[in-house]
C-alpha cells in the first residue's frame, strides 16, 4: 500500500514538472504575426509519380532545362528535357501528364505539349490551342 502511494506521488510530481516546464506562454502573435509555428515550404519542385524523385526548372546561360533529382540525396539524376533539344524553344513553366510521358510548358502566351522520348533523344512538339 505504501509503495502504491509513493509511485502515485512520483507520477504526480513528474506530470506537474512537465506542465510547469514551459518557459513562455504561447501568444496569438506567435501564431499569426511572427509565424513561429508556420511550416517551412519548398517552392519550385514537382514530385514525380514514383515518390522517390522530383523535378525542377533550371536556367543555364542560353537554355532552360528540367532536371530530375533524388529526394533521398538531393542529387541530380538526369536532365529530362533541355530547350537546346527543342530547337531553342525556351519556356518558363511546365507540368507533366499523368503518366509522365509528356510534359506541358508555357512560352509567353503559347502552350505546348512535348512527348518525352523513351530510348531516343528526339522530341515531338505540338502547339495546344
Per residue in 83-128, pLDDT tens? 888 776 777 888 888 888 887 877 655 565 566 554 444 455 555 5
Say if residue 129's pLDDT is above 90: no
pLDDT tens-digit series, residues 19-53 = 555 567 777 887 778 877 777 777 788 899 999 99
DSSP character string of 19-42: HHT-SS---HIIIIIS-TTPPP--
pLDDT of residue 70: 94
- pLDDT-derived band of residue 12, with 50, 70 and 90 as boundaries? low
**CA 112/CA 121 separation, integer angstroms:** 18
Instruction: State the pTM of this model.
Output: 0.57
What is the C-alpha radius of gyration for the chain, rounded to an integer number of angstroms?
27
Please report, for residues 28, 40, 81, the alpha-carbon distance to residue 43 in angstroms, rounded to integers and kept in the order given: 27, 10, 20
Amino acid at each position: 500500500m505504501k509503495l502504491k502511494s509513493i509511485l502515485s506521488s512520483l507520477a504526480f510530481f513528474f506530470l506537474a514538472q512537465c506542465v510547469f516546464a514551459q518557459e513562455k506562454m504561447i501568444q496569438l502573435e506567435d501564431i499569426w504575426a511572427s509565424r513561429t509555428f508556420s511550416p517551412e515550404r519548398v517552392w519550385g519542385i514537382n514530385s514525380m509519380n514514383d515518390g522517390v524523385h522530383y523535378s525542377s526548372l533550371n536556367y543555364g546561360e542560353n537554355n532552360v532545362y528540367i532536371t530530375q533529382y533524388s529526394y533521398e540525396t538531393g542529387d541530380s539524376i538526369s536532365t529530362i528535357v533541355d530547350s537546346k533539344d527543342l530547337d531553342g524553344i525556351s519556356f518558363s513553366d511546365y507540368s507533366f501528364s499523368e503518366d509522365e510521358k509528356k510534359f506541358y510548358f508555357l512560352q509567353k502566351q503559347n502552350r505546348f505539349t512535348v512527348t518525352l522520348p523513351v530510348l531516343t533523344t528526339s522530341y515531338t512538339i505540338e502547339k495546344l490551342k
